[in-house]
Amino acid sequence: MNLTKRSSLAAVAAEVAETLARAGIRAVLTGGACAALYSEGKHESFDLDFILQSVTPARVLDDAMKAIGFRKVGKHYEHPRSRFLVEFPAGPLGIGGDLDIRPRTLRIGEVGVRALSATDSCRDRLAAYYHWNDRQSLAAAVEISRHHKVNV
């Protein structure tokens, strides 16, 4: 797939996830991009955060991202024809002090994207609201719970 300015967040997530998997890199989609997918587009995000779950040399990650047109700029990756950035924040995968996070596979077309569950994505957004008083994150948590069953 060739990414373009019109590529959706879901399309970019699928392309990156598939590329990482082909390179043997285990990663989980988190943060605002995950919330955007679960909120059925009610929440917007312009960066995709993937937490690596395997030891991955920087060169291997750079080569995988380069294969689909992304180049590293500072701490994130940019694509010349995409409006979305991709980041790999330091792990481990967790929400607050809870490290017992079990990713789910979201189907985006033919691609399985490892991501937080709807419940964990909601918890992640609530944590962002609590820690940084980010009202947009609170709104995202509400939208996630409106569109998916969330274990309260």
- CA dihedral (23, 26, 31, 32) positive or negative: positive
CA dist 17 and 50 (Å) reads: 9
pLDDT digits (tens, 9 = 90+) for 55-102: 999 999 999 999 999 999 999 999 999 999 999 999 999 998 899 999
Predicted confidence at residue 116, as pLDDT, reads 98
Q: How many CB atoms lie within 10 A of CB 70?
A: 24
The dihedrals phi and psi of 127, each to the nearest 5 degrees, come to: -65, -40
Amino acid 1: pLDDT: 67
Location of structure tokens 């274990």: 151
Q: How confident is the model at residue 2 (pLDDT cuts 50, 70, 90)?
A: confident
Output the six-digit token pair for 97: 């002090």
Q: Please write the tens of the pLDDT for every residue from 39-53.
A: 988 889 999 999 999
Please name each of the domains of the chain with its CATH number. Answer: 9-116 (3.30.460)
Question: How much is the mean pLDDT over the chain?
Answer: 95
Whether the Cβ atoms of residue 28 and residue 115 lie closer than 8 Å to each other: yes
In DSSP terms, 52 is beta-bridged to 27
The SS3 assignment for 1 reads coil
